[in-house]
Structure 1
Amino acid sequence: MNKLKILNDPIYGFITIPNSLIFDLIQHRYFQRLRRISQMGMSYLVYPGAHHTRFHHAIGCLHLMQKAVTVLRFKGVGISKQEEQALYVAILLHDIGHGPFSHAMEHSIVNGVSHEEISLLFMEQLNLEFNSKLNLAIQIFKGEYPRKFMCQLVAGQLDMDRSDYLKRDSFYTGVSEGNINSERLITMLHVVNDELVVEEKGIYSVEKFLIARRFMYWQVYLHKTGLVAEQLLIRVLQRAKELTGRGIHLPSSEALAFFLKHDINDLNFNHAVLNVFAQLDDYDIVSAMKEWQKEDDFVLKNLCNMIINRNLLKIKIKDEPVKHKTLQMHIDDFVKTYGVSDYEAKYFVFNGEVSNQAYEPKQKVINILYKSGKIENIDNVSVKLNLLPLSKTVTKYYICYPKEKVEMV
């Protein structure tokens, strides 16, 4: 069977699958599930084109990693065949642990288990099936491989993950501010003492990359409508789990029913649970919500109706925390209007906060390589660009409550 396939990607054109191991991983049911996991959660309710999946993104990351390996080898950086393959595997599988709509499950029916932890569990299971061929990839994914630049290519300030999702999400949403030149940025990469650096002539590409990241977060990832839609989805799953715990049967797929019936956390998320999780995707959630609109529970049916028919809550973004008095006023209004309890009203009236930091200097620095051989932290390159606004964490506060004439079913 010919395993050196070529995929046609709308962003990069033709992408070549480099070897049979990568082909077999892509063909695996764990990875094929990513075709049914949206890359941007509920953002399609804001940007109609944002229907691309984690599968698209993972293949794009693989392509960029191939570019990075080619560039670094051309510049004399030693990368063995085993390391090359491990880099491809690590970046291909870096997001394999995402649940339905990408982040909603992490805050609702699975407690304290991040998608990174689930990705690692998937990789360990695949490693058993593929006779330990993923050992080095897992080491790189965990950030434990001594050649740090390889870990930085998978998870760093200028990693292949960010390089793809900014460009891809910009394309599918139509938000041009995020359209970075990822290929040029990769061309500017180099390695010194096994640490990733950027050549001096690439400094403005770095600046554009960081600015694009900030724009995309405020304009797309933290867009207020997408934010309220995701919060509603989280509350749908929380309410469904609560009702199931009371003994109320809710129609759903077997996989979704398992997570509604069981309290899953980081202590009991084992390989048996992983196999159930591997059967769960966006389709389970959407089909369940369509059915749950018919339930008797006021909270569940109305939350589902709001998402399915895009009749969302009103959301206000503020620079200061929402006052408790303001929140309680909206809760009281809801209780009076619909005759529900305070507890039930809080599913429809709530507040929270979001933050954005385009550059995280304390966690993973970006180093600039000058022609003289000198290496300098980009924080100190103040003559050419000012990173202070980009490294500052900006926090916004929001309150959500029903619109004046919201129709309850």
Structure 2
Amino acid sequence: MSSNQRFKLFSDPVHGFISVPKTVIMALIQTPEVQRLRRIRQLGVGHLVFPGAEHTRFNHALGAMALMQDALANLSEKGTPVSPDEQTAALAVALLHDVGHGAFSHTLEHQLIEDFSHEDMSRVLLTDLNERMDGTLETALDMFDDTYQRPFFHQLVSSQLDMDRLDYLRRDSFYTGVAEGEVGAQRLLKTMRVHPLSGGSDAEVMIEAKGIYAVENFLISRRLMYWQVYLHKTVLAGDELLRGILQRAQVHLEAGASPDWLRRGSHALLFFLDHNVHVDEIETPEVRNHYLQLDDTDVLFSLKQWMQGPDPVMADLCHRFINRVFLRVRFLSQRPSEARRAAWRTEVADWLVDEGLVARSEAEAAARHYLTLNVSRHTAYDDNEELIGILGRDGTARELSEMADTTTISDLTGFVEKPYVCFPKPVDLDLAPVLDD
């Protein structure tokens, strides 16, 4: 059988041609669960800030799988045995690691299901796919859960230097045009190895000493991408606005109201707004099926419907998102006192009344959709997680900070927190002395 019969090629602007074996991997790509990822933008509302960032979770899933192919090929060349079944399982996990993402990616992750993270749903969907495919994904499930007898496979999927991060940094840098996020993925893969080489139960993925600067560059790029893209103040403004819209919908539903204009929104979205769904319920068919019906299209459709409704506040909020009339985000040097917050709420409430959006009696309650206080938080290298190992030329394994420029690594370790306030641009909030200049 010729190679072009055994593989299907996908043309990817980041990695070039991606060869997908016509095995269970191609069958997985054809499933509704994976095809749904085409309808979920990788960067949530990021495309409203970076015009080129229209790429999807599907692009990223293929990219992570492609990098897994390269990683396994390099590790095999260096002497670590990888069986055909392990190869297939690892590719499947890389492909499916984000299959549980919801509409607008991370933006609504904690809005629709209580105590939820997308990994929880990825686990549920991976289990479902395994049952439909007669148990062919058992090894993939073990790798996902980190219960497989060779734990280095899990590290390739979920660690501080995994295929997921390598792809999304390079891909998001490419589509946003933020060059600082470019990482030397191939350099990292070429210097990656398993120690000990046999890849047994005690083996870990490490980077050879000659790749240490590529690791430092990767961590620096990650930090820059978070502050310049993922936590960009206008992205945060879009996130807060979208969450405010859903909160407004829940106000109507919690009041026992079920107006026809609200019900014109997506059935799948309204299911989660109308039910207090907890993460413990995601395995139930009703929750899972509604979740799989929900993507970016449902949210945008709902907003366009609600923009025509009789609630001036909801109409205004939806108009702002659809037409990109965002609220303002200002970073603060410290968290404001409760007295300062109360003063801000009063100012926003007064503005809502002056604009004719709400009656005085409802202004304070409506102000919470327009005024939010939050904290952006990130670390490039979390020393509380599994650390990155460096394998010296003498065969000695050490943690990254022991071998790298300790000043650089220490600067990248630990969380940086930036409090921020989001509010309407026409409102002149008194931010002194908490404004972060």
Q: TM-score, length-normalised on structure 2?
A: 0.90
1:354 matched to 2:363? The reply is no
1:164 counterpart (153, 162, 167): 167
CA distance, structure 1, for counterparts of residue 42 and residue 337 of structure 2: 34
Q: Retained in 1: the 8 A contact 2:192–2:206?
A: yes
Instruction: Give the SS at the match of 2:109.
Output: helix
Deviations 1:276-328 (A, max 9, x none): 21111100000110111112223322221111111111111123113333322
Output the aligned Cα RMSD. Answer: 1.7
1:259 matched to 2:262? The reply is no
1:37 counterpart (27, 32, 40): 40
Q: Retained in 2: the 8 A contact 1:107–1:234?
A: no
Deviates more, 1:35-44 or 1:232-241: 232-241
Post-superposition offset of 1:233: 0.8
Post-superposition offset of 1:382: 4.5
Post-superposition offset of 1:390: 0.2
1:133 matched to 2:136? The reply is yes
CA distance, structure 2, for counterparts of residue 17 and residue 154 of structure 1: 18
1:402 matched to 2:402? The reply is no
1:305 matched to 2:314? The reply is no
Q: Retained in 1: the 8 A contact 2:383–2:414?
A: no
Deviates more, 1:135-144 or 1:30-39: 135-144
Deviations 1:153-173 (A, max 9, x none): 000011000000000000000
CA distance, structure 1, for counterparts of residue 293 and residue 245 of structure 2: 20
CA distance, structure 2, for counterparts of residue 52 and residue 133 of structure 1: 30
1:372 matched to 2:394? The reply is yes
Instruction: Give the SS at the match of 2:326.
Output: coil
Deviations 1:66-90 (A, max 9, x none): 0000000000001111111110011
User: Residue 365 of structure 2 aligns with which residue?
Assistant: 343
Post-superposition offset of 1:255: 1.6
CA distance, structure 2, for counterparts of residue 164 and residue 104 of structure 1: 20
CA distance, structure 2, for counterparts of residue 57 and residue 172 of structure 1: 12
- For structure 1, the residue ranges without an aligned partner over 5 or more in a row are none
Pairing of 1:185-204 with structure 2 (within 5 A): 185-193=188-196, 194-204=203-213
CA distance, structure 1, for counterparts of residue 62 and residue 120 of structure 2: 21
User: Residue 64 of structure 2 aligns with which residue?
Assistant: 61
CA distance, structure 2, for counterparts of residue 3 and residue 263 of structure 1: 47
Deviations 1:233-261 (A, max 9, x none): 11212222332342323112222222222
Q: In the comparison of the two structures, how many residue pairs are matched?
A: 406
Letter in 2 for 1:299: V
Q: TM-score, length-normalised on structure 1?
A: 0.96
Instruction: Give the SS at the match of 2:234.
Output: helix
- Aligned structure 1 segments of 4 or more residues deviating by more than 6 angstroms: none
Q: Retained in 2: the 8 A contact 1:322–1:399?
A: no
Instruction: Give the SS at the match of 1:395.
Output: strand
Letter in 2 for 1:164: D
2:301 counterpart (287, 290, 293): 287
Instruction: Give the SS at the match of 1:219.
Output: helix
Deviations 1:149-199 (A, max 9, x none): 111100001100000000000000000000111111111100113201100
Instruction: Give the SS at the match of 2:129.
Output: helix
- For structure 2, the residue ranges without an aligned partner over 5 or more in a row are 197-202, 354-361, 429-437
Instruction: Give the SS at the match of 2:373.
Output: strand
Deviates more, 1:333-342 or 1:159-168: 333-342
Change (3 A) 1:254 1:384: closer
Query: Identity of aligned pairs, percent?
Result: 39
